[in-house]
Chains A and B, each alone.
Chain A
Amino acid sequence: GAGVSQTPSNKVTEKGKYVELRCDPISGHTALYWYRQSLGQGPEFLIYFQGTGAADDSGLPNDRFFAVRPEGSVSTLKIQRTERGDSAVYLCASSLTSAREQFFGPGTRLTVL
């Protein structure tokens, strides 16, 4: 079966631009997570969805970051007015429920010039 997919795989943008990163979870997985891995660090939690609602967005760094999951499946992470410090690999994961193993996508590498 298909795993978690993320698009684009690479995104290069200029400082100040808006970007959207997409995540397609495994079919039937109700829980969806976004993590961010900056250079030299482990992935850091950003936001957790249970169904359509964001159950915990405490990891979002500031109000330039926003994520949606309108139909409880595909999720989009949106970053406004990008800054060079936003450059990182953005990982998406899904799980059958919040208590189960998380399956990761290959990530989107975002570079802000």
Chain B
Amino acid sequence: ILNVEQSPQSLHVQEGDSTNFTCSFPSSNFYALHWYRWETAKSPEALFVMTLNGDEKKKGRISATLNTKEGYSYLYIKGSQPEDSATYLCAFYDDYKLSFGAGTTVTVRA
């Protein structure tokens, strides 16, 4: 069982503020790290697939960085909006299956 950890478990952010949170994963046998956003009653939505050490990807106000040597990835939300409220999951790609962290639940207060 792969150990994928996310912190914090939850956080509350004021609208307009920026925030970030962490995913840590095994640094050996790395192939890819996936980030998903999961809103209540909806399908988990793929945000990023990160494969290269030093990778930085951006989608609107959300961006992510990757450090495969030390085994961590950060997800950043700039200028948080209420629609950013969701659970953010990272997943370590292990051959064909994903090993997920428990997620960081973000609540944006208006």
Contacts and interface: CB of A to CB of B under 8 A. Distances in A.
Interface in B37-67: 41-44, 46, 49
A20 interface: no
Contacts of B91: 42-43
Nearest to B38: A104
Contacts of B36: 104
Interface residues of A, number: 26
Nearest to B94: A45
Given A91-B44, A104-B44, A33 B97 contact: yes
B92 to A, nearest CB: 10
A13 B6 CA distance: 33
Contact of B89 (A42, A44, A56, A99): A42
B97 A56 contact: yes
Contacts of A43: 44, 89, 91, 98, 100
Interface of A: 3-4, 9, 31, 33, 35, 40-45, 48, 55-56, 59, 91, 98-99, 101-107
8 contacts: A41-B102, A42-B89, A42-B91, A42-B100, A43-B44, A45-B99, A98-B96, A102-B46
